[in-house]
Amino acid sequence: MEVILIQDVDKLGDKNDLVKVKPGYGRNFLIPQGLAMVASPSNKKAWEDLKRQDARREDKIMKELQTVVEKLKTATVKVGAKAGTNEKLFGTVTSLQLADAIKKQLSIPIDRKKIQMPEEVKTLGAFVAVIDLHKDLKVDLNFEVFAE
């Protein structure tokens, strides 16, 4: 059975994907939950129109994100934390603290869930985090932890 996904479904596909599923899974779960619709000929035609519109919208978003990427690549964000005498932090630097620092210093709002910390940051120094701006666009961000 072919269905068109209305929302992102984990381990199945993204919004507006055409996927094949078992009939029971489609009829009993995906369609009643509002996650998919049957891929009938009329729905497929509407789906193709939506894909064209999404492609245009996607191009516009990617152009806007390129300026954000350039800012993030060149910037080094400074994050303050309390530390002891041996440069060891009292706790760790979290993605929430990093997101707040990016918003304050660069005026770029980034969801903390999109930030992937390489390891637990428990000391002072320079680190690199990966920010997932879009499904096809990731950028490395340099950040420095200093003692407050």
Token digits for 64?
Answer: 């806007």
Is residue 38 pLDDT above 90, yes or no? yes
Torsion from C-alpha of 106, 108, 112, 114, nearest 10 degrees: -110
Pick the CATH number of 66-147 from 3.50.50.60, 3.40.50.2000, 3.10.430.100, 3.30.1490.110: 3.10.430.100
Angle between helices 95-106 and 41-74 (to 10 degrees): 70
Mean pLDDT score of the chain = 90
Range 2-62 has CATH code 3.40.5.10: yes
Nearest-angstrom CA–CA distance, 102 and 127: 14
Identify the CA nearest to 99 among candidates 69, 147, 141: 141
Domain with CATH 3.10.430.100 in the chain: 66-147
| pLDDT for the residue numbered 118 | 79
Length of the chain in residues, anyone?
148
Confidence of residue 12 (pLDDT cuts 50, 70, 90): very high
pLDDT tens for 89-132 read 998 999 999 999 999 999 999 999 999 987 888 899 999 999 99
Query: Within the chain, which residue ranges are assigned CATH 3.40.5.10?
Result: 2-62
Of the candidates 133, 138, 125, 132, the residue with the CA atom closest to the CA atom of residue 78: 125
Instruction: Please give the torsion angle defined by the CA atoms of residues 118, 121, 125 and 127, in that order, rounded to the nearest 10 degrees.
Output: 20
Q: How far is CA 100 from CA 49, 77, 113, in A?
A: 39, 10, 12
Residue 27: per-residue pLDDT: 94
**pLDDT tens string 78-90:** 999 999 888 899 9
pTM of the complete model: 0.67
